[in-house]
Amino acid sequence: MNILILAAGYATRLYPLTLTKAKPLLDVAGKPMIEWVLDNLAPIPDIERVYVVTNNKFAADFQAWADEYTKRQPKLAFTIVNDGSTSDADKLGAIGDIHHVINKENLLNSDLLVVAGDNLFSQPVAEFAAYAKNFPATLAVYDVGDLDAIKKYNSIETDETGRITHFEEKPATPTSTLTGIALYYYRKDVLPLVNAYISDGNNPDQPGRFVQWLYPRMEVSTWTVPGTWFDIGSKETLEEAGEVFAKFRS
């Protein structure tokens, strides 16, 4: 299996911090966000390669970071993919970036784990990959525990087996506090459907939209993320994440 880290956004809500540094490279409790992600993915066996898709503005920064990170994690091989965008105005969008990397790097022959580079979770998720191999597609989920808080995320409902039965972005009147986070596993036979999604003219932004399109067509299972998950959308939540994740430093 391959890993694809989504890191091509411009994080304008965090300006001026992200004017000169990509959001996944911002420090949280002593290390870049992307390292929290990778350190928790590294225990997964059989990783062929890690692809990081970014933009023209920050591609060189991610290459420099990867060169240093591999000194500490030599078992991981990296490819930094520049999607060619230069601003929010010409970005490809998250699903557009997945489509771009799958085709540019010819990734149709292996399963693909997709994760956002700013998606902070506190515990290793090797069990996610082991579980997900049993299904066409799997979405990691987290219970935010608050019907009001869920309104800024997506809301997921499942049957007794964990299969998604309802998916709604930013629900006005949610009935579930379960949200899908930006951690996905797609079996290799599902990957051609990313091309179909894009070819049909669907919205190329927000990776959850592909799940929303996919679940009525085939089984999309869910896996509950252990520990703490954090969504960073502002300077205030960035500071809060630093305080929360400081206790998880090894």
- 233-247 pLDDT, tens per residue? 788 888 888 888 888
Estimate to the nearest angstrom the gap between the alpha carbon of 10 and the chain centroid. Answer: 15
Report the interhelical angle of 192-199 vs 94-104 (nearest 10°): 130
Predicted pLDDT at 1:
94
Comparing CA positions, the residue from 214, 212, 63, 199 lying closest to residue 137 is 214
Distances (CA, A) of 242 to 26, 36, 121, 142, 246: 11, 12, 12, 20, 6
> Is the separation of the CB atoms in 93 and 182 below 8 Å?
no
The answer to pTM > 0.85 is yes
| Cα 238 from Cα 29, distance rounded (Å) | 10
Predicted pLDDT at 63:
97
- Collect the ranges in the chain with pLDDT lower than 70: 250
Predicted pLDDT at 250:
62
| Cα 169 from Cα 155, distance rounded (Å) | 6
> Is the separation of the CB atoms in 210 and 138 below 8 Å?
no
| Cα 2 from Cα 46, distance rounded (Å) | 9
Predicted pLDDT at 232:
81
Predicted pLDDT at 216:
96
